[in-house]
Amino acid sequence: MKKDQFLKLLDIFRISPMETDFERLVYKKERLSSMEYHLITGENFGLAGNFGTGKTSTLNYLQQLIEKKKMGVVIRINNTLCNEDVFLRQLLFKLLEKNIVKKIYSRDIEDFKKMIRSTQSLEDFLRSLIYYEPRKQLDHARVITLYKEYLKETSSSEEELDFIFNSYTLKNIVAEIFRCSPRRIFILVDDYDKFTVDPLSKEGGENRLGMFLTSLKDVTEFSKTTWVFALPQSYYKRFNVAVPYDDELNFLGVLGQVYIFLNLSVKETRKYLVDRLSQIDMYMNQIMDEDSFKLVYLLSRGNPKMINHIVKTALYSIKVRKKKRIGIDDVLDILRDSDKYDDRDISIIEYITETGRTFSNDRLLLDKLKIDNVPLLMRLERLKEKGLLKSEFYETIKYFHLDYEG
């Protein structure tokens, strides 16, 4: 493969999806139009799906759309902690950086910037101590005491200390900016599909995320704001709206709509690859055969980001091996880099890809692996548990084949 052609292939299979992928990643063009309508009308919505299904890329697309059409101010937040205080502080930082308003409660915005920044470094330090300190000797009372002592030392006056603690909470300050903003504010919140346990509260899970979003309800209902959250697919399953309505807790209390992002089907994966290659006037059979494509789908499960990763890894492999197109062994390199599969596991998958199926007494495979039928059956069952193989009985014999249809 020529160097310039190889570099073009690497470029179109970069991890981040291309702009031409957006319609495919949300499945229907109408969905993008629907999201744009939500932005215009100010209705909050969510994007739910597993890692790599296109949520962040769609947020990027929406941000470009907002800025291109000059619809308002974009605030982009990446956060993985379901903690209201941490989130509001980060949001406030972003709002202050944008200089959306000149004054807050008759105080100059620069004063607020100084006060917020003066407290952030210590709070981050204390959180680190609580998280990493092995004996957990810092209790909440001591944290608050240290925090107040720090403020007394850094604040210009006692009056300012009272102002920070007693008069205006973070939520009230954020709300005041929303109320006074002359322009619409779009808050795009990413990474809650990767949320972690809060080191202070020790809480996590979909319920915790649901409670966190509910805690933000007051600040998400302003007429001049539109919120978009990237959420885990498990959240959608947990709080999906049942039709007909069965009076269970759902996401409608906070979000007007949640768009679900799923992995691509076999047909969609093929179209995804064909469309990408068409950007550089290439065809599928020029870079991989049908068996290699099956393996790409099998290992990626149609996840767009994983498809790109596997194809890029295979492209590096054929460059090193000085081959013209991707073969089965090149795709399987992704498994060789994992400690979950050994050479025999990879040989089994390669054999089944070429022959279509196998069984525990397959003499050709047994001779190739140099093992008995019982160890082979155990390996086949383990690969089935990992989602790589499926099994079915035919005339009392249990056959194993690739789980091609997922």
**What's the pTM?**
0.75
Residue that the structure tokens 């619809």 belong to: 71
- Least confident range of 13-27, 250-264, 390-404: 13-27
Give the DSSP per-residue string, 180-248. Answer: H-SS-EEEEEE-GGG-B--TTT---SHHHHHHHHHHTHHHH--TTEEEEEEE-HHHHHHHPPPSS--S-
- Token pair, residue 107, equals 């105080």
Which has the higher per-residue pLDDT, 196 or 302? Answer: 302
> Which overall architecture, per CATH, does domain 266-402 show?
Orthogonal Bundle (1.10)
- Residue-range domain boundaries for the chain: 16-261, 266-402
pLDDT in tens, 124-179: 556 556 554 544 555 666 666 666 665 665 554 444 444 443 334 778 888 889 99
Using 50, 70 and 90 to split pLDDT, how confident is the model at 196?
A: low
pLDDT of residue 67: 93
* Mean predicted confidence (pLDDT) in 54-76: 90
Which pLDDT does position 400 carry in this prediction?
94
How confident is residue 370, by pLDDT bands cut at 50, 70 and 90? very high
> Is 227 in a helix, a strand, or coil?
strand
What pLDDT was estimated at residue 362?
94
